[in-house]
Amino acid sequence: MKSNVFSSPVFKRLLACLALGFALAIMVGPQQGTQQDYGLAFRQAVFAPRIFLFLGIGLLVFVLVTYWSKITPYFHRSGVAPLAVGLVTVVAAQTLLKWHDPTGDGKFHTVSDAAVNIDGLAPLAQVYFSWLAWPLLFVTVLLAGSAIVLEKRPIAWGAAVLAIAGAFIAPVAQSAYAATTTRIDHSLGAGSAVSGYLVLLGAAVTIAMSKQESADTKAFFGRVLTWRPGLPLAVLGLIVGTLGLASATWFSPSKTNATLTDTATFFTGKGLAPIAEAYLSFLGFILFGLTLIAAAAATYLRNKIVGWVAFALGLVSLYLTLNTMYLFSSAGASLKIDQASGPWQNLGSGGWMASAAFFLFAGAGFVVATADWKKAKTIIVNGLKVAAPKSSDHGGLFGNATATKTLLLVVFAAALFYPPTATSFWQAVLVTQIGIYVLLAIGLNVVVGWAGLLDLGFIAFYAIGSYATAYLVGSLPIKPPWGVISPMLAIPFAIAICLVAGVLLGGPTLRLRGDYLAIVTLGFGEIVRIVAINADGVTNSTRGPSPQVPHPVIDLGFIRFEFGLNQLQYWYLLLIIIVIVVVLFRALEESRTGRAWAAVREDEIAAQASGVNTFRIKLLAFAIGASTSGLAGVFFASDVGFFTPDNFILNNSILVVAYVVFGGMGSLPGAMAGAAVLTWLPEFLKDQVPAEDRQMWIGAVVLLMMIFRPGGLIPAKRRAAELHGYDIDEPLEGSAVPAGEGMGAKS
Amino acid sequence: MTSLSKEGNELAPDQSMVDIRDVIYDVSDVTLRFGGVTSLNNISLKMYRGEILAIIGPNGAGKTSLFNSLTGVYTPQEGTINLAARVGDSPSSVLGKKTHIINHLGVARTFQNIRLFPALTALENIKVGIETRMKASPVESMLHLPRARREEKESTARAYELLREMGLTKRANDLAGSLAYGEQRRLEIARALGTDPGVILLDEPAAGTNPAEKRELADLIMRINKKDGISVLLIEHDMKLVMSIAHRLVVLNFGQKIAEGTPDQIQKNPAVIAAYLGSTDEEEVPA
């Protein structure tokens, strides 16, 4: 048979890639059109010069796929990983993040459009915003990249110089711009650009200095953490703290951006408490210096006592920072600045950044103080020294205990101190979308990820939890005979009700396997929703609970806290709930119950033959998942106050499954990360693409994920083994399509 | 008949172990059908405390069906199966009981095609078996209450003990799926032993192993039988192995029991020879 160029796999791949570019061209754009003009968006997308840009992207993908095997060896050269991270960070800073908050969307491009027309703006800022920013980035990356390919060190030093320039210019230009406007500035763009450029600097230095042929970034971090355990946290704290103390906004009298020193000047002689006044004028800097020295000394000396000193100093400084913010914002409120009605208003991001820095320093001290220097653990069993048992489920992300602690502390720093600087819109998204769905994903992960039962009606338990709360607090047409209780007290009851509901559904249905169970649970989800619509006398149908579910109140006798409309309060409550649930579930996963779940999922027959009561253990997974969902329901009901059966549609059940699969089935951090990313993405895309296109972009992200990383964002080791054979030293990524098929196929 | 010749006398089974007054499995007149196919036809047999009883027969003879009937996977349509797995148990019927209940009564088994939990470590595989005998509730586990902690320690210690007995100590933290074939076989036996059985059912434990591994396996089975006092019911095709370790044999063919007796008796039994080599009548039919 004669081989034909048009039927060769390479040609087909080229066509496919060009089609991809075409599809992208249609997806990206304003998509305007009227009912009289059906083809406008299509013509705008296709019959314009920009189509060549997108076909070029398709061609690039084709070249990448075809020559992938020639490109990959370069990936293992020193400095590639930080180069990629730095590039992505700076690109994200210049496309996604805000460079000046009050100007509508405030993103880099709007700022750069505006900056051109400002007279008297510093020339450096003008140059940076008008044209320098992008070329600076690309030349830096290009130099570093060619230094890697050509192995020429001087080029890498050139890239390093440019990276330093970038790290210097970005904040200078941004503050020059912010100084010309008169509104409070919360922007994070410049700060992110600085950290991106610093990573690029690190990459360039690595390229210039490295003597190794190849580099293993993960092993490198592992070595760094064994060498000086607190180093990453201390460095991060230094960067965040310096930015916070030197350039970030602390307060906004008359909508201006007052840095720490400006705030000190502003409050001089206005009757501020002495401790706060001292902090603002000099104590803050001194504390920062002292804590930094303590954290650095602890890291350098690897001394446990110094570590505890840094930990204590960091916590005291954190307290003083928060106290100062409380005091001067109350003082601002009593002076009626910007209509402030109480403390914690009109604060900028500076105080929170300083708090994060102190938290990170304390974390560095803590990590040093608790680091375990012994390499491998052994235990004595019956007089025999053997390797300590290692669970098969230590996630691939966490190499060792120190790395896990470091990562957790960074996540906590972000979770504690980022939300106050976000806008109220994002705070609401954080609580009612991200936070609640993270909790739901944690619950579903027990059912789908650990026990291997596909549940497509999971949202029904969320609905039951919400309605149970509404009933218990007296917001439904039928009232509880024993009188109403507060939403916080409703938590245990709602959990119990969902537990029972889980058992009632699971009892008859868990004899079914796989697909059949999925269909039955799907039906159950719909039944609950339709009952909620039709049982008017019980649920008030689509009109929702009336009166609204009251906000929670924490009343411990000596301390009383009433939740209001501020979403930030709910965020911290939710954070506490999530932490408790994660700690409990983590213990459960490592226990006999967790192992029995894995056994049932892996081989039900063998599990039975080993004495596992598979029905009971599956029912348990169902009930625990349901009760977590119920907990989320209580929280949701008391936060929003008002909901309808439309909040509990099938789509939401499927989305939760998608979050768990996307994040990594069976992996607790994975399920949480998956839910967080996929709930954040649609809200983020609201500003970026037309509303109708959002689902398409999310679909594209999920699709790419399943092709290139089928184990999920953070794959579970247990699952990874199923997908990729059992050689755990192999990379975790596998392929959703069998070898020899799909895009990577050899022609 | 070389394959049935008796060698390896050093492994000769010790008949004094067997106590014929104490019946573990009392199978009488069991018939198992799948639709029109009769898998087991009127089978009766007794298994005594302390013995190694082998079930042999050509492929499709119903050996695994019998195993599955004994462990509650299948429920025969006719007949009775009574079980008294542990010393001092009074006999109770197996029929209609769930597999895990029968396991709790003291019956452990392995599978013809190895069925481990491949994505759990070797240690965890054994712990799954051990922990089905433990009591800590999920709430106790979540809160690390004393009983959960104590049981966790006990199960780890016991699992290491079993790993050492099987010579798998070094593989404790490796995923079960990554073990070599012979190691997986031994791990499966260890998991079964972890459930503290009175009788263990081994379904072709020597399949796919080499001669050296077969000798080790024979030693292992004898050791389990003698040292731990666990009765063994064995399905095995390797005649040399079976004849050297079994106290008694039951021969199945086409779902029927065609012979029962000591290795010597079985080797001389004409029905068995016919079943294995084909009947002499058929061979002499002219072409």
Tokens of B4: 């049935």
Please say whether the beta carbons of B242 and B56 come within 8 A: yes
Helix, strand, coil percentages (3-state) for chain A, rounded to 5, are: 70, 5, 30
Q: How many helices (H) and strands (E) does chain B have?
A: 11, 10
Average pLDDT over residues A404-423: 88
Average pLDDT over residues A278-301: 90
Label residue A535 by pLDDT band (50, 70, 90).
Answer: confident
Higher pLDDT, A87 or B274: A87
Dmax (CA) for chain B in angstroms is: 78
The region, left, alpha or beta by phi > 0 then psi within -120 to 50, assigned to residue A336 is: left
Contact A721 B118 (CB under 8 A): yes
pLDDT digits (tens, 9 = 90+) for A475-502: 888 888 887 788 888 889 999 999 999 9
Count Cβ–Cβ pairs < 8 Å, chain A vs chain B.
151
Give the CA angle between residues A225, A229, A235 to the nearest 5°: 95
**Position A394 pLDDT exceeds 70:** no
* Cα A526 to Cα A507: distance, rounded to the nearest angstrom: 18
Q: Are strands B199-203 and B231-235 parallel, antiparallel or unpaired?
A: parallel
Q: Which of A401-415, A556-570, B232-246 has the lowest mean pLDDT?
A: A556-570
**Position A375 pLDDT exceeds 60:** no
pLDDT digits (tens, 9 = 90+) for B183-224: 899 999 999 999 989 999 999 988 888 888 888 899 999 999
Q: Which of A98-112, A164-178, A512-526, B87-101 has the lowest mean pLDDT?
A: A98-112
**Position A572 pLDDT exceeds 80:** yes
Q: Which of A36-50, A290-304, B33-47, B59-73 has the lowest mean pLDDT?
A: A36-50
Label residue B2 by pLDDT band (50, 70, 90).
Answer: very low
Average pLDDT over residues B54-74: 89
pLDDT score at A444: 95
Asked if B112 has any chain A CB less than 8 Å from its own CB, the reply is: no
Give the CA angle between residues B78, B96, B84 to the nearest 5°: 90
* Cα A193 to Cα A86: distance, rounded to the nearest angstrom: 9
Contact A726 B128 (CB under 8 A): no
- Kindly identify which residue of chain B lies nearest to residue A716, measuring between CA atoms: B119
Please say whether the beta carbons of A129 and A173 come within 8 A: yes
Residue with tokens 């060792």: A400
Dihedral sign for Cα atoms in the order A515, A517, A519, A522: negative
Higher pLDDT, A744 or A30: A30
List, edge to edge, every strand of the sheet that includes B37-49.
B37-49, B19-34, B78-83, B92-93
* Cα A44 to Cα A38: distance, rounded to the nearest angstrom: 12
What's the gap in Å between the CA of B280 and the closest CA on chain A? 42
Contact B178 A728 (CB under 8 A): yes
Please say whether the beta carbons of B61 and B15 come within 8 A: no
What's the gap in Å between the CA of B57 and the closest CA on chain A? 24
Q: Which amino acid, residue A94?
A: Q
**Position A675 pLDDT exceeds 90:** yes
Average pLDDT over residues B12-23: 72
Average pLDDT over residues A15-34: 79
Question: Which of A684, A654, A190 minimizes the C-alpha distance to A458?
Answer: A654
**Position B282 pLDDT exceeds 60:** no
Residue with tokens 């304390």: A362
Please say whether the beta carbons of A346 and A337 come within 8 A: yes
* Measured torsion, CA atoms of residues B146, B151, B153, B155, in degrees rounded to the nearest 10: -170
Please say whether the beta carbons of B240 and B8 come within 8 A: yes
Average pLDDT over residues A116-136: 83
What's the gap in Å between the CA of A555 and the closest CA on chain B? 25
Q: Which of A11-15, A346-350, B146-150 has the lowest mean pLDDT?
A: A346-350
Please say whether the beta carbons of A618 and A436 come within 8 A: no
pLDDT digits (tens, 9 = 90+) for A583-598: 999 999 889 999 999 9
Q: Residues 158-187, chain B: which have Cβ within 8 Å of A?
A: 159-161, 164, 169, 172-173, 175-178
Facing residue for B195 by CB, picked from A382, A389, A610: A610
> Which range has the top average pLDDT, A267-281, A330-344, B116-130?
B116-130
- Kindly identify which residue of chain B lies nearest to residue A724, measuring between CA atoms: B119
* Cα A54 to Cα A51: distance, rounded to the nearest angstrom: 5
Strand, helix or coil at A415? helix
Question: Which of B88, B83, B58, B93 minimizes the C-alpha distance to B201?
Answer: B83
* Cα B95 to Cα B77: distance, rounded to the nearest angstrom: 9
pLDDT score at A251: 83
Residues of B in contact with A502 (CB under 8 A): none
Label residue A354 by pLDDT band (50, 70, 90).
Answer: very high
What separation in angstroms does the CA of A332 have from each of A10, A339, A345, A620, A639?
Answer: 68, 9, 8, 53, 29
Q: Are strands B78-83 and B92-93 parallel, antiparallel or unpaired?
A: antiparallel
Residue with tokens 């992207």: A57
* Cα B97 to Cα B109: distance, rounded to the nearest angstrom: 16
Strand, helix or coil at B245? helix
The neighbour count for residue A383, using CB atoms within 10 Å, is 5
pLDDT digits (tens, 9 = 90+) for B157-185: 899 989 988 888 888 888 888 888 888 99
- Kindly identify which residue of chain B lies nearest to residue A583, measuring between CA atoms: B142
* Cα B17 to Cα B10: distance, rounded to the nearest angstrom: 16
* Cα A361 to Cα A396: distance, rounded to the nearest angstrom: 26
Q: To probe the interface with B, which of A510, A583, A586, A592 has the most B CB atoms within 10 Å? A: A592
Question: Which of B227, B221, B268 minimizes the C-alpha distance to B54?
Answer: B221
pTM summary value: 0.83
pLDDT digits (tens, 9 = 90+) for A624-663: 999 999 999 999 998 888 898 998 999 899 999 999 999 9
DSSP state of B175: B
**Position A740 pLDDT exceeds 50:** no
Label residue A381 by pLDDT band (50, 70, 90).
Answer: low
Q: A251 pairs with which residues across the strands?
A: A258, A347
Facing residue for A721 by CB, picked from B129, B160, B177: B177
Q: B249 pairs with which residues across the strands?
A: B54, B261
pLDDT score at A302: 84
* Cα A488 to Cα A435: distance, rounded to the nearest angstrom: 18
Please say whether the beta carbons of B106 and B196 come within 8 A: yes
* Cα B108 to Cα B42: distance, rounded to the nearest angstrom: 25
Average pLDDT over residues A280-306: 90
The percent of residues in chain A predicted with pLDDT above 90, rounded, is 28
Tokens of A583: 């700690």
Label residue A101 by pLDDT band (50, 70, 90).
Answer: low
Please say whether the beta carbons of B66 and B55 come within 8 A: yes
Q: Which amino acid, residue A323?
A: N
Beta strands in A669-717, from DSSP E residues, in sequence order: none
Label residue A276 by pLDDT band (50, 70, 90).
Answer: confident
> Which range has the top average pLDDT, A90-99, A380-389, A551-560, B135-144?
B135-144
Contact B131 A592 (CB under 8 A): yes
What's the gap in Å between the CA of B268 and the closest CA on chain A? 36
pLDDT score at A735: 39
pLDDT score at A390: 66
* Cα B271 to Cα A121: distance, rounded to the nearest angstrom: 106
pLDDT score at A739: 42
Which phi and psi angles does B69 have, rounded to 5°?
Answer: -70, -35
The percent of residues in chain A predicted with pLDDT above 70, rounded, is 87
The interface predicted TM-score (ipTM) is: 0.88
Contact A602 B117 (CB under 8 A): yes
What's the gap in Å between the CA of B261 and the closest CA on chain A? 29
**Position B8 pLDDT exceeds 70:** no
Contact B73 A591 (CB under 8 A): no
What's the gap in Å between the CA of A95 and the closest CA on chain B? 42
* Cα A230 to Cα A360: distance, rounded to the nearest angstrom: 9
Q: Residues 200-259, chain B: which have Cβ within 8 Å of A?
A: none
What separation in angstroms does the CA of A181 have from each of A108, A139, A679?
Answer: 15, 31, 33
**Position A691 pLDDT exceeds 90:** no
Tokens of A574: 């939710």
Asked if B71 has any chain A CB less than 8 Å from its own CB, the reply is: yes
Contact A382 B161 (CB under 8 A): yes
**Position B234 pLDDT exceeds 80:** yes
Q: What is the mean pLDDT of chain A?
A: 82
Asked if B143 has any chain A CB less than 8 Å from its own CB, the reply is: yes
Question: Which of A54, A65, A68, A67 minimizes the C-alpha distance to A20?
Answer: A54
Question: Which of A443, A485, A478 minimizes the C-alpha distance to A460?
Answer: A443
Dmax (CA) for chain A in angstroms is: 94
